[in-house]
Amino acid sequence: MKSYLAAAVQMNSLPDIEKNLVQAEDLIDLAVRQGAQLIGLPENFSFMGDEADKLAQAEAIATQSEKFLRTMAQRYQVTLLGGGFPVPTSDGKVYNTALLMGPEGQELARYQKVHLFDVNLPDGNTYHESSTVTAGTHLPGIYASPDLGNLGLSVCYDVRFPELYRHLSKLGAEVLFIPAAFTAYTGKDHWQILLQARAIENTCYVIAPAQTGKHYAMRQTHGNASIIDPWGMVLANAGQKPGVAIAAIEPSRLGQVRRQMPSLEHRVFA
């Protein structure tokens, strides 16, 4: 693992895949021009709209999203995460799929979101992700990169389930991806503290791309895409507007924190 710059992209995706991919390309270009070698796009980067429309367009969204990720990774010679897009299943639903692409356009890792967001919030919004999404059945693995470190994947609501990240840390994860479309209502109280908790308890870097602003109907997301170090320090935050949060991933810092706080070595329960 070498020192490098990583970017957490922040988007305002809409029910228009073409516009979303133009926005994503502009932000990838911005990150690359600032030196980023590892770039994460948020959940729903290619489409964020009504669930019925998502299902109706799922095949096209999946095809265009994967092609886009492959093209961008090759064009810019970066490792690129698509933090969540629908991939049709045999049961008429979709998997919420995170896909990591390498600089040659090769698939490095794929993860199907296992924790689905079925919640009634006090602000009047109801979310029932399982009505259109089939939960993945496998825990995520890690992708071991000689240059970028051991990368672990997750998606949004997963952040509330620390056992998933403990699984990744036991596999040797050093950098955790947590791409999200976090609701504005829950985000104001929970987003940053959850990200910091996952970083601290696993002594890992966290890269958290995010959606921000108003999208469709009443849907509004929290923003604040972030990169957090293994001590829980927020290294970069994108605020409320589309943009990028960029920070250095430093193996020396990772080693320092793990020496000073060797909690992973002190685990009693598996």
Instruction: Examine the residue annotation and report whether 113 is marked as an active-site residue of this protein.
Output: yes
Predicted confidence (pLDDT) at residue 193 exceeds the cutoff of 80: yes
pLDDT of amino acid 269: 87
| 160 secondary structure, DSSP code | G
pLDDT of residue 98: 98
Active-site residue, selected from the candidate residues 18, 19, 129, 156: 156
**pLDDT of 124 strictly over 80:** no
3-state secondary structure 42-92: CCCCCCCCCHHHHHHCHHHHHHHHHHHHHHHHHHHCCEEEEEEEEEECCCC
Q: What is the pLDDT of residue 5?
A: 98
pLDDT at 121 over 90: no
- Six-digit token string for 182: 């976090």
CA 133 to each of CA 27, 51, 68, 268: distance values in angstroms, whole numbers, following the listed order: 28, 9, 22, 36
Task: Please state, for a pLDDT cut of 70, what percent of the chain lies above it.
Answer: 100
Structural domain spans, the chain:
4-265
The one catalytic residue in 51, 54, 104, 113 is 113
Cβ atoms of residues 43 and 211 within 8 Å: yes
The whole-model pTM stands at 0.97
pLDDT of residue 219: 87
According to the model, what pLDDT value does residue 137 have?
95
Distance CA(34)–CA(246), nearest Å, equals: 8
Cα angle value 178/181/187 (rounded, 5°) = 90
Q: Is 156 known to be catalytic?
A: yes
Supply the pLDDT for residue 126. 86
Mean pLDDT of 186-193: 97
Q: Which helix (H) or strand (E) holds 251?
A: helix 251-260
Residue 125: predicted pLDDT = 80
List pLDDT tens digits, range 221-235.
Answer: 999 999 999 999 999
Q: What average pLDDT is seen over the chain?
A: 96
Q: Grade residue 216 by pLDDT with cuts at 50, 70 and 90.
A: confident
Candidate list 43, 54, 66, 174, residue with the active-site label: 43
pLDDT in tens, 70-90: 999 999 999 999 999 999 999
Give the whole-number percent of the chain exceeding pLDDT 90.
94
CATH topology classification for 4-265: Nitrilase/N-carbamoyl-D-aminoacid amidohydrolase (3.60.110)
Query: Each residue of 93-116: pLDDT tens digit?
Result: 999 999 999 999 999 999 999 999
Annotated catalytic residue 43? yes
pLDDT tens digits for 169-180? Answer: 999 999 999 999
